[in-house]
């Protein structure tokens, strides 16, 4: 598609299509697509980057021109938009965010009335509408806008309701890093109201510091804080709050694969797993092998939480996620939710008395090296048989306890080269050599 990538539309603010005029047209196109059966309502939320104000206004104007009513939610986590779209019985939800990227970028994520990411077909329909000239509805039919002032409170209560009412986190000392992003006024409050002792960092957004050396992609400060405060654990969210990484009491990071394993093992222990687990092509093979030992089925989807969600729906399973920290509990929310995912990990800590470090030890994470190759343009790997030959040779060396994955990025001109295996140093060498070989083939 021309505009939509792995997760909506994203790019550098001020560079097409991340411009006010495009967002105006996008709002109108979305409004025309969703209002085909009559008048409709769309929810708009945003993270804390400064350009969110500009794009919120542009989208609002475009939607109004298409005759669509708008509910403005203000700074809210992405999963809150999915939840509130459902509970307000809206026709669609829009989140203005570039996720874990810096403030220089921005983007748009969309949700259906059911709180799911849009299908490829619906995205294609929106792109087709973008090619049409804007035609404003009559003045009497223009969409109206209003602010939902209690959006944060509604979402806080929702998050608390995703764990049993008996859940009491009293005695847990938790450091929370909100990445100066959309969870800054929500996540600490949820944990505090459930009884935890909470210390917060990354909760002073100024429009320019979102994800800046903080959050789920920069956990070094959180690791230091956990150790300095002798906390039980740390929780890091990304800028829009749809994913998390945790830190144990020793200052060691616990990634999405390990968190997914902990939740799956706990749900199996309690007899509420209801199916298997969905990961992605990037999920560590150690997760697959660990779940296999527990007798839990595992399936891989394409990279992107909407593909994980689609496969979960297809299989009738409830639990899935990505290494990056997207955790989807379909019996709790319709999309990846950092706060809900964190609470699902805190449950076994509270109920079993084991700490986060002990729980993650049950899964052996295979050494993994990821190398990014910069591309001049998007490529079709099937047109380079020599690359396939190099991959086959390396996979033969790795055997059953290793694997190789090549994946073009959905948002950048990069080819990601992933190698896994039992020997960390060999894996590193193999990945670097394969990347060099591929670069030479593409040159």
Domains, the chain: 9-149 (3.40.120.10), 155-253 (3.40.120.10), 254-360 (3.40.120.10), 368-442 (3.30.310.50)
Question: Looking up tokens 């591929």, which residue turns up?
Answer: 438
pLDDT tens per residue, range 238-272: 999 999 999 999 999 999 999 999 999 999 999 99
**Predicted pLDDT at 412:** 80
Residue 117's nearest CA partner among 147, 141, 95 is 95
Cβ–Cβ under 8 Å, residues 39 and 148:
no
Residue 345 in tokens: 């990990």
Whole-angstrom distance, CA of residue 90 vs CA of residue 105: 27
Options 51, 58, 99, 283, the catalytic residue: 99
Report the distance separating Cα 304 and Cα 321, nearest Å: 9
The verdict on whether 64 is a catalytic residue reads no
Give the integer Cα–Cα distance in Å for 391 and 393: 5
Q: What is the pLDDT of residues 132-143, one digit of tens each?
A: 999 999 999 999
pTM over 0.85: yes
Residue 37's pLDDT is 67
Residues 292/294/300/303 CA torsion (nearest 10 deg): -120
Predicted local distance difference test score (pLDDT) of residue 6: 77
3-state helix, strand, coil in the chain (%, to 5): 40, 20, 40
The ranges of the chain with pLDDT < 50 are none
**Cα–Cα dist 249/12, whole Å:** 37
């Amino acid at each position: 598609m021309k505009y939509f990538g792995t997760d909506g539309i994203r790019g550098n603010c001020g560079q097409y299509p991340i411009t006010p005029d495009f967002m105006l047209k996008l709002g109108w196109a979305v409004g025309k697509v969703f209002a085909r059966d009559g008048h409709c309502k769309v929810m708009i939320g945003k993270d804390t980057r400064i350009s969110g104000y500009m794009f919120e206004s542009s989208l609002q104007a475009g939607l109004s021109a298409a005759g669509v009513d708008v509910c403005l939610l203000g700074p809210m986590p992405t999963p809150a938009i999915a939840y509130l779209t459902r509970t307000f019985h809206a026709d669609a939800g829009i989140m203005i965010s570039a996720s874990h990227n810096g403030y220089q970028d921005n983007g748009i994520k969309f949700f259906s009335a059911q709180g799911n990411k849009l299908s490829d077909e619906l995205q294609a329909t929106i792109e087709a509408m973008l090619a049409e000239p804007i035609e404003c509805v009559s003045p009497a039919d223009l969409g109206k806008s209003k602010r939902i002032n209690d959006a944060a409170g509604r979402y806080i209560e929702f998050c608390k309701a995703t764990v049993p009412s008996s859940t009491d986190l009293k005695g847990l000392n938790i450091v929370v890093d909100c990445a100066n992003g959309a969870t800054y006024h929500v996540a600490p409050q949820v944990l505090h109201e459930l009884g935890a002792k909470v210390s917060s960092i990354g909760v002073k957004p100024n429009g320019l510091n979102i994800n800046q050396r903080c959050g789920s992609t920069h956990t070094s400060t959180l690791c230091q804080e956990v150790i300095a405060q002798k906390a039980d654990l740390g929780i890091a969210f990304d800028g829009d709050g749809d994913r998390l990484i945790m830190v144990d009491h020793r200052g060691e990071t616990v990634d999405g694969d390990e968190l997914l394993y902990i939740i799956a093992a706990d749900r199996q222990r309690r007899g509420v797993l209801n199916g298997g687990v969905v990961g992605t092509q990037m999920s560590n093979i150690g997760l697959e092998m660990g779940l296999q030992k527990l007798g839990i089925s595992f399936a891989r989807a394409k990279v992107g939480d909407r593909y994980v969600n689609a496969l979960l729906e297809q299989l009738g399973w409830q639990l899935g996620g990505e290494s990056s920290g997207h955790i989807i509990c379909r019996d709790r929310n319709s999309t990846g939710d950092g706060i809900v995912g964190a609470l699902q990990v805190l449950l076994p800590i509270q109920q079993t008395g084991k700490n986060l470090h002990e729980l993650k030890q049950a899964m052996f994470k295979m050494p993994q090296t990821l190398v990014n190759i910069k591309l001049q343009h998007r490529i079709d790997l099937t047109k380079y048989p020599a690359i396939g030959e190099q991959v086959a040779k390396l996979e033969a060396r790795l055997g059953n306890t290793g694997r190789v994955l090549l994946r073009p990025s959905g948002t950048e001109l990069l080819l990601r080269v992933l190698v896994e295996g039992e020997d960390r140093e060999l894996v590193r060498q193999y990945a670097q050599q394969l990347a060099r070989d591929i670069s030479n083939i593409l040159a």
